[in-house]
Amino acid sequence: MERPAWAPPGIDISVPSVSRIYDYYLGGSHNFEVDREAARQAMRFMPGLPKIMQANRAFMRRAVRYAVAEGVTQFLDIGSGIPTFGNVHEVARQASPDARVVYVDHDPVAVAHSRAVLEGDEQSAITAADLRKPQDILGSPEVTGLLDLERPVALLLVAVLHFLEDDDQPHRAVAELRDALAPGSLLILTHASYDGVPVPEEQAGRAVGVYRDIRNPLVMRPREDVARFFDGFTMVEPGLVAMPHWRPENPPEQEDPYAFSGFAGVGRKG
């Protein structure tokens, strides 16, 4: 297999990566055949997976614009993945030219590609770190250099927490991040769930099994477990809802049924 120029040396391009699979679902070009094959296997059971990812991105963009309208112009995007069109810094800058963004990912391809995209951008940065170790993120030179944690920050955890198993203590990780944020900060979150998936749970479970087989287990949490991530935050209207129902710009009825899979919400720290 030939290694493309954008693939960092040292990564194993024979093993699928969650961020490259996501890139494939969104129509990106930073993925390998091994990623596309894993994606196609999952789509045999849930053909609407790309629609879920598109709904995720659309929610993220609406939430970023909401944050800027609320006066929050600092963004910490953990599990940011491979930059695609309409990324956080682009959306935020359109609304506020002085917006600052720090991206965080532990996938070497996502980090390398983000560095290339952000080169020369003094208001954005990428750091290689893992959500399971919040202090590594908070203490990184990128966060301490670009963000003022004494002022409100929008913390984005979009389509990432479902890759943390319960043994990883994801609720504790979110609480550690929350405690480091100033009052008025926002938590912007989406999470996979069997709730709203338009196929039988057993069938959806086979798609989830593909992720388990590539050693990236996808944890489908029920609504009450997702709601617990917002402990210490006050939910912004309309609360924890399917992605198309969060402050839609278009009538949600026009959305693909798959777009209603899982949950999205925004909370404000008091």
Q: What percent of the chain has pLDDT over 70?
A: 99
Residue 104 resides in a domain: yes
- Residue 151 covered by a domain: yes
Share of the chain above pLDDT 90, in %: 86
In a domain, 20, yes or no: no
What pLDDT is stored for residue 45 in this prediction?
Answer: 98
Residue 91 domain boundaries: 51-198+218-269
Distance (Å, whole) CA 175 – CA 183: 14
- Total of domains in the chain: 1
Q: Answer whether residue 207 is part of any domain.
A: no
Model confidence, pTM:
0.95
Establish if 23 belongs to a structural domain.
Answer: no
**Cα distances (angstroms) measured from residue 227 to each of 171, 172, 207, 235:** 10, 14, 24, 9
Mean pLDDT to the nearest integer, 167-185: 98
DSSP string across 220-255: ---HHHHHGGGTTEEEPTT-SB-GGGSS-SS-GGGS
Tokens 């198993």 belong to which residue?
165
d(CA 57, CA 159): 9
For residue 19, tell me if it sits in a domain.
no
Residue 36 confidence (pLDDT): 96
Flag whether pLDDT at 1 surpasses 70.
Answer: no
Q: What is the pLDDT of residue 207?
A: 97
Give the pLDDT confidence of 119-174 residue by residue, as tens digits. Answer: 999 999 999 999 999 999 999 999 999 999 999 999 999 999 999 999 999 999 99
How many angstroms separate the most distant Cα atoms in the chain?
52
Of 36, 1, 59, nearest in space to 238 by CA: 59
Does 211 map to a domain?
A: no
Instruction: Return the CATH number at 227.
Output: 3.40.50.150
Residue 28, in any domain of the structure: no
